[in-house]
Amino acid sequence: MTSITRSTNPGSGIGTNFGSIPYGNTQGGSLTESRLSIQNSRIGMRVDTSFKDFNVLGYWESDFLGQVGNPPNGGIAVSSNPYPFRLRLYWVDVTKGGWEFLAGQSWSLMTTNRKGVSPLPGDLFYSQDIDVNYQAGLTWGRIPGFRGAYHWGSKAALAIALENSEPYVGGSAGGSTIVAPAAIAGILGGQVNNGQSVISAAALHPDIIAKLAFDPNPKFHIEFVGVEITNKIANPASTPAFQTNTKAGGGGAINFNVELFKGFRFIDNNYWSSGGGRYIFGQAPDFMIRADGTLSLVHSASTVAGFEATAGKTMFYAYYGGVYIGKNTAIDDTGKLIGYGPIASDGQNRSIQEITFGTNTTLAFRPANLS
């Protein structure tokens, strides 16, 4: 059971909508919210086996966050609360010697590791926050793809992944969308994803992600991550019609965690991108579109820094998270501003910040011996 209490009413269910916290002079900002939910209840399974010299690991995880609002059968918050079942993770990982291969829907390789390049949730950093949208500033995703890795023992590893791409212009997870040229505004939600297109937007090729991780000892982990993203649109207003424009972008991250003294670990994750805002939980668009139908990349960056301190069975933690999104505007043929900034942030750069404090206590129960 999850209990949520908020000083405003963002209308986002149990997941905090970091990109659109209501202002005080709005209806949502004038209301408080308290809510109980079982949606974060989770079900899953892990299977380990071997075949000849290969170790095979299968992993599945689901919850009940399939839809925030009312599903087709209705009734949520009125009588029966039939929360839809959702697939989170479903993948198979095969290893032999130092080589590893994964296929399926996993946490993106862009997600920070606590150690190595492991896809297992316990080896990843997405904060200790109970909030199902985790922490502002995190770079993460749960995305279908293929991944290959090579491990030099337990001290170093290199992984390369091909993961589903998406031509993203904002609008998801509370993030602001771009203002498109008037002549081609209809491609929003169709050719490009503005948070509403589901899977109708055409991706040119999978995102290419590489991660190099070092773990010289159990107390220290550092990783270097890079992603390449290419987007392409067809301009319906061009002469002749549907001339295409392609633009490549991407981003990079340096993340580390270190145990400064027994039970106290410091964490620092930093990401910068030119056209990779989608990986900051969709808070930033990857690109805007000029009046002539060409693409221009939006700059964005994020950080999460903090500590986790363990005392017995209790962990204390605190994080600071920040997101920066640069302005990128142009003049439309109509004489009005288009791009990212003129409406969402009054022509200025945009930032989102969050500070989180919390504690977790583990209760251990020892079952009776079973024959």
Give the whole-angstrom CA distance, residue 70 versus residue 28: 19
Residues 231, 204: contact at Cβ < 8 Å? yes
Is cis: bond before 240, omega within 30 of 0? yes
Q: 3-class DSSP state for residue 83?
A: coil
Q: Which two tokens stand for residue 370?
A: 């079973």
Which residues are bridge partners to 287 per DSSP?
A: 297
Cα 331 from chain centre: 31
Q: 3-class DSSP state for residue 263?
A: coil
The single residue listed with the structure tokens 């295409």 is 244
Would you write out the chain's pLDDT as a tens digit for each of its 371 residues?
A: 888 899 999 888 888 888 888 888 999 999 999 989 898 899 999 999 999 999 999 999 999 988 654 455 556 677 777 888 899 999 999 999 999 999 999 999 999 999 999 999 999 999 999 888 999 999 999 999 999 999 999 999 999 999 999 999 999 888 889 999 999 999 998 899 998 888 889 999 999 999 999 999 999 999 999 999 999 999 998 889 899 999 999 999 999 999 999 999 999 999 999 999 999 999 999 999 999 999 999 999 999 999 999 998 899 999 999 999 999 999 999 988 899 985 544 445 667 676 777 667 655 555 555 44
Name the residue among 16, 275, 1, 46 with its Cα closest to residue 127: 16
Residue-level pLDDT at 24: 87
The conformation of residue 317, written as its DSSP 8-state character, comes to E
Structural domains in the chain plus CATH codes = 97-361 (2.40.160)
Q: Which two tokens stand for residue 326?
A: 């640069």
Cα 286 from chain centre: 14
Q: Which two tokens stand for residue 176?
A: 């602001």
Residue-level pLDDT at 66: 81
Indicate yes or no: pTM above 0.95: no
